[in-house]
Amino acid sequence: MTGHLVLRVVAKLLLPLILLFALYVQFHGDFGPGGGFQAGVIFAAGFILYALIFGVRQGRRVLPGWLAHNLVAVGLLIYAGTGVATLALGGNFLDYNVLAHAPAEGQELGIMLIEFGVGVAVSSAMIIIVYMFAGRGEDDGEEDRE
Amino acid sequence: MSTFLGLYNYWIVVLLMMGGFYVVIAQGNLIKKVVGLNIFQTSVFILYISMGKVHGATAPIIARGYHLYTNPIPSVLILTAIVVGVATTAVGLALAVRVRENYGSIQDDRLTEEEDGEPGR
Amino acid sequence: MLAGLYSFVSAGLFVVMDAVDVAFTEAAVGAGISTVLMLSTLALTSRRSKRSIRTRALPLLVVLVTGTALIYGTLDMPHYGSPGAPANHHVAPRYLRESMPKTNVPNVVTSVLASYRGYDTLGETTVVFTAVVGVTILLGVRRRRPNRPRDGGDDS
């Protein structure tokens, strides 16, 4: 069990750093390399690391399947919702100029909102995909449809 | 010689692309086909990104003091393509798992002979 | 393992070619998620591949002919790194010039992805969503014993 002990300790130390780095990449995507996709994948990698080392069942207790499924849809809805909001405020679809008092401010706000939506959607998508693959091998007849 | 120095990036891409293509059409194992498809995909990414590079330029992040930037548009296209590629790879591998569960094999010559023999084992 | 190494090396190549966003994504996605997916699939199917009985000559011929045609096609392409290439003159200078004043975002790749080409990114996020739906349909419903032969009826 010694080998697993090293893995568990290192994973527990690294996980907060991974999630924090993912948030940094998400919100600094405007100033350096990064943005929604990269941040989503790194965020998912943290949860996948946890599920790989501590078992998929334990991983599902931390982030349940139904929550991940809902978050994919919520991420996509944030993106499309921003577009509908710009329609409601009088501009074209996904025209961020109308979101704030000045066009440049509106663009910044719009970009940040949709990158957040993309980040949420991509991270939940990766987590669901790995849950589906890793959970398939367990053969105890547990029903998984939520 | 200057032709080689100017075009070597395309030839490397063609080499990788043909490697991936060969794996897709010559291998019988479904998972190896998916790996070949991934090699093909990555070679196409390298093609697009190498077309956008400008000598002596820096990454396309506007900063003071830099005047020459690499073309940002191929980066945008390929960013999307990478994420879509991993999503389709996931679907392809899920299909391979289901094929294995229903038919017992992922070698396509064994799958075709079973289809010609008796369906629904 | 080799697939992960291949993705990592290609990410290094992308950095050399100044496409840092793409390198970031390729390193995270290719060396991380793809490796996990491949290993899971190998664990769920079989670890070794059986010998294939098909001939190798025809695919090799097809590959050689296609490769020669492609190399012939690249002889007219602009040289690597040339600033005068047509790809660098259509809308790219306009985006590079106007990104800072119009959107206040220094990372031109993000501003193009999210603002100038925001509609495409919406479609791409929908593709990721659809792939999740596909994987859930294929792998989400458990059978009691996955290796049981089909008995002619779907009883899920």
pLDDT at position A77, please? 94
Look at residue B57 and tell me whether its pLDDT is greater than 80.
no
The total number of structural domains that make up chain C? 2
Which pLDDT score is estimated for A33? 83
C10 belongs to a structural domain: yes
List the single residue in A41, A125, A136 with the smallest CB-CB distance to B97: A136
Which is it for the CA torsion B89, B93, B94, B95, positive or negative?
positive
Q: Is the pLDDT of residue B6 over 70?
A: yes
Higher pLDDT, A22 or C93: A22
d(CA C92, CA C112): 10
Supply the range of the domain harboring residue B54.
2-117
Complex-level ipTM: 0.85
Domain that holds residue C30: 1-45
For residues C27 and C17, what is the distance between their CA atoms, to the nearest angstrom? 15
C129·A42 Cβ contact <8 A: no
Q: Is B28 helix (H, G, I), strand (E, B) or coil?
A: coil
- The domain ranges of chain A are 2-135
Which of C43, C109, C135 faces A137 most closely, judged by CB atoms?
Answer: C43
Confidence of residue C145 (pLDDT cuts 50, 70, 90): low
Task: Select the more confidently predicted residue: C51 or A60.
Answer: A60
The DSSP output letter for C29 is: I
Contact A41, C31 (CB under 8 A): no
Which residues from chain A sit within 8 angstroms of residue C136, using beta carbons?
A: 69, 128, 132
The predicted structure's pLDDT at residue C147: 54
pLDDT, mean of residues B51-76: 81
CATH number of the domain enclosing B98: 1.10.287.3510
The CA distance from B72 to C118, in Å, is 15
Residue recorded with tokens 């077309």 = B51
For residue A96, what are its two tokens? 């961020």
Interface of C with A in 120-139 (CB under 8 A): 121-122, 125-126, 128-129, 131-132, 135-136, 138-139
Rounded to a whole number of angstroms, the distance from the CA of C112 to the nearest CA of chain A is 10
- Which among A32, A41, A136 has the least Cβ separation from residue B61? A32
Mean pLDDT lowest among A100-104, C22-26, C143-147: C143-147
Q: According to the model, what pLDDT value does residue A146 have?
A: 36
Average confidence (pLDDT) over A9-25: 92
Residue C121 lies inside a defined structural domain of this protein: yes
**Cβ within 8 Å, pair C45-B82:** no
A116 neighbors A125 (Cβ within 8 angstroms): no
A91-137, pLDDT tens digit by residue?
888 888 888 888 888 888 888 999 999 999 999 999 999 888 887 76
d(C-alpha A114, C-alpha A99), whole Å: 13
Per the structure, the count of domains in chain B is: 1
Chain C stretch 97-116, residues whose beta carbon is closer than 8 A to a beta carbon of chain A: 101-107, 109-111, 113-115
Name the residue in chain A with its Cα closest to that of C120: A94
d(CA B65, CA B70): 15
How far does B1 lie from chain A, in Å, by closest CA?
36
pTM for the full model? 0.84
With CA atoms as reference, report the closest residue to C31 among B86, A8, B92: B86
